[in-house]
Chain A
């Protein structure tokens, strides 16, 4: 099992390196349209063929992976931090604060986000560059994705506060911020890690769905989300199976993250 985890780490390192070196590895600029070769099959020139507009799919996969692997974890980090702050504080303090926070969380979870996001998009300026659009998209996801994680962290914090470990810490004279910082947060780490890793694929897929609303990454910048939109047409499965490479890469990458996560949990 250890070798599987080592393999997962190596795979993630390889993917990250290839993405970071995309400028050198990619056979063509991600936006360049080879208009004489739309929907081309894999070849020596285009390893994964070309998309509908004749853009090299392998190059777009490299750049798209870079965008998603950098920004989805950033959004996950933001949402996990917010969840830790809000949920952790509610669980630790308890009482009326917990009631208020949980009520707010329930309200947040029950809101029709689809329509709210459409409203948000309607108010955003139109003339934003593709890079700004991708940052805005993931920042929005990070800011709005904390509620479910906050519930879990609040429950974990509440359980932890009633545990023997914390009781012993209190008996030893630890209280307030010191108790929170030295005893509660370290013991919440596995839950926080889990929420962080779980959020990454969720945000990647949410970004793909938001593309349909115009909130995703703007053209011509690729992301896993925009690459996965090619799969809207499921009848392409038999005709162009190489279109599924981004999906396979997403699944393998998320799987590797989960394996690494289990390792992290053991360390924690």
Chain B
């Protein structure tokens, strides 16, 4: 009885001792998710929170190094894509086990591919591999060799495997048995998730110590960004993956060592006009919107530098075309952002018969130039950009009405009713390969927003884009693909179906207690090297 009392007292002392408590807390990484993960099945991931869990728990054959933007081997020690680009062979790492101890083999890869491509599963990750109708065939040779053949060539086939977390074919725990650095130990719906270090994780550091260094990760579900910031400053969480300009500046004022601006990111903000022939708009407005001169004039009247400086507080750059300068390989460096030039704008408009009378721009039939631009309500940056563009266009006699709509209503208008004039939205881009935007640039595509689902290209330049995009998609020659993508960027820069405004910077916040963090442009910005991160006192222990 006495021994029990002593033991209880000792445990109580350990629990209450600040030093002990600190050591315990510092072996745990904490950060916030903006929402609850919709799924823990890595094949069904479609939201940011689920993607975070997949990244932290999923073991992949190949991983895109977010810093170098190069593919690196993970569970596969080597890989080879065939000449036609429809087949990939992997040699797998040996003596690897899932978090529950089940051994990993080629059988698991074959099972994962089978599940991934099962049409009944509707896997968003699997959709990237569906280049055409037909069955995907897997051939295993022993435990460590596998070849996966697709019915048609897939551009950037190896890069797609960065998203494919391998499942166990035999584990009773199914998708909860993982090969990544962590496994889900606890999931409190609506509150938080606890990830513990995978005891069977295959990676070791140079000194032979098992990775990852951090024992566990606590992910708190927190929608309020203000509270997230407060918690970071108080030391309750260790990083914020993505910051907007306002929060970044506040953090710089409070704790400059915690703020990271890694430069221009992949995301863009753009405005476009409705060019759908059947749209319920007056004919004279359709004529404005389909005129290249009109679009170029609007583009030249927008002060992009001001948008970047005022709305994004200098943490954005005037955009050039559809590939961001952050995409080092695919960006067409010969192109420059359209300069702000009111005189050029008025000249371009004059070519189409527009004239400025008493401070109001009128077209050749005498109609005042007035149109609306809609954007999604609640997005402060977009509302501000629209308001600034309103003033810019007022200077050349154009009256712009800014309309903010809830997102479903906005989507309804741009995809079904086409009852709108112009729209300001952004494009979130995760994929470096421009082929991922085939669904935007083909004139037959549903996401060809200014005039979607065309039976035949409405203009010669759209026909040329179709031709170039199809040519690059069917080629395995990277140089040829680069030439084609450069030309598409040039056409888009000239014709401006999307008037690109800015590319936002990628900004993050990292606690000074977190070490080895090197925030990058690509998602996940801060924890892309999760198995290398150390925290607090762990630095000394693990280095």
Contacts and interface: CB of A to CB of B under 8 A. Distances in A.
A233 B374 CA distance: 24
Interface string A105-143: 000000000000010011000111110000000000000
B387 A214 contact: no
B306 interface: yes
Contacts of A118: 406, 409
Interface stretch (A8-16, A31-39, A92-100, A197-205): A31-39
Contacts of B491: none
A220 B401 contact: no
B512 interface: no
A52 B310 contact: yes
A219 B311 CA distance: 15
Given A127-B372, A219-B390, A214 B310 contact: no
A219 B421 contact: no
A126 B372 contact: yes
A212 B379 CA distance: 9
Interface in B378-401: 378, 380, 383-384, 386-388, 390-391, 399, 401
B155 interface: no
Given A53-B388, A212-B377, A126 B230 contact: no
A235 interface: yes
Given A53-B388, A127-B401, A121 B409 contact: yes
Interface string A167-182: 0000000000000000
Q: How large is the interface on B (under 10, 10 to 19, 20 to 34, 35 or more residues)?
A: 35 or more
Nearest to A132: B401
Given A121-B406, A127-B401, A214-B406, 15 more contacts: A32-B391, A35-B306, A35-B388, A52-B310, A52-B311, A54-B310, A118-B406, A121-B409, A122-B406, A126-B420, A127-B370, A211-B404, A219-B387, A235-B229, A235-B250
B246 interface: yes
A126 B409 contact: no
A129 to B, nearest CB: 6
Interface string A222-266: 000000000001110001000000000000000000000000000
B14 interface: no
A219 B383 contact: yes
B226 A53 contact: no
B401 A130 contact: yes
B46 interface: no
A144 interface: no
A31 B311 CA distance: 16
A233 B226 contact: yes
A191 interface: no
Nearest to B370: A127
A213 B421 contact: no
Interface of B: 226, 229-230, 246, 250, 303, 306, 309-311, 370-372, 374, 377-378, 380, 383-384, 386-388, 390-391, 399, 401-406, 409, 412, 419-421
6 interchain residue pairs of minimum CB distance: A214-B404, A214-B377, A122-B409, A126-B372, A127-B372, A219-B387
A127 B386 CA distance: 14
Nearest to B394: A31
A213 B379 CA distance: 11
A72 to B, nearest CB: 21
Contacts of B303: 35
B244 to A, nearest CB: 11
A233 B230 CA distance: 12
A218 B401 contact: yes
A245 to B, nearest CB: 20
10 contacts: A32-B391, A33-B388, A52-B310, A122-B405, A129-B401, A211-B377, A213-B406, A219-B383, A235-B229, A235-B250
Contacts of B306: 35
B347 to A, nearest CB: 24
B374 A126 contact: yes
Given A35-B310, A121-B409, A127-B372, A52 B384 contact: yes
Contact of A53 (B310, B374, B406, B409): B310
Contacts of B388: 33, 35, 53
Given A33-B391, A213-B406, A218-B403, A122 B226 contact: no
A55 to B, nearest CB: 9
Interface residues of A, number: 27
Given A220-B390, A233-B246, A53 B405 contact: no
Contacts of A32: 391
Contacts of A54: 310
B209 to A, nearest CB: 41
B409 A128 contact: no
Nearest to B250: A235
A64 to B, nearest CB: 15
Interface in A17-74: 31-33, 35, 38, 52-54
Contacts of B246: 233
A237 to B, nearest CB: 11
A161 B388 CA distance: 58
B197 to A, nearest CB: 35
A246 to B, nearest CB: 17
A31 B420 contact: no
Given A126-B421, A212-B378, A235-B226, A219 B402 contact: yes
A96 B374 CA distance: 47
B242 to A, nearest CB: 17
A76 B406 CA distance: 26
Nearest to B409: A122
Contact of A31 (B372, B391, B412): B391
Nearest to B305: A35
A219 B390 CA distance: 9
Given A52-B384, A127-B421, A214 B390 contact: no
A52 B386 CA distance: 13
Contacts of A129: 399, 401
Contacts of A128: 372, 401
B377 A213 contact: yes
B302 to A, nearest CB: 13
Contacts of A212: 377-378
Given A212-B378, A235-B226, A53 B401 contact: no
B405 A214 contact: yes
Contact of B412 (A122, A214, A219): A122
A53 B404 contact: no
Contacts of A35: 303, 306, 309-310, 388
Nearest to B374: A126
Nearest to A229: B380
A235 B230 contact: yes
B386 A219 contact: yes
Contacts of B405: 121-122, 214
Contact of A214 (B399, B403, B420): B403
Contacts of B386: 219
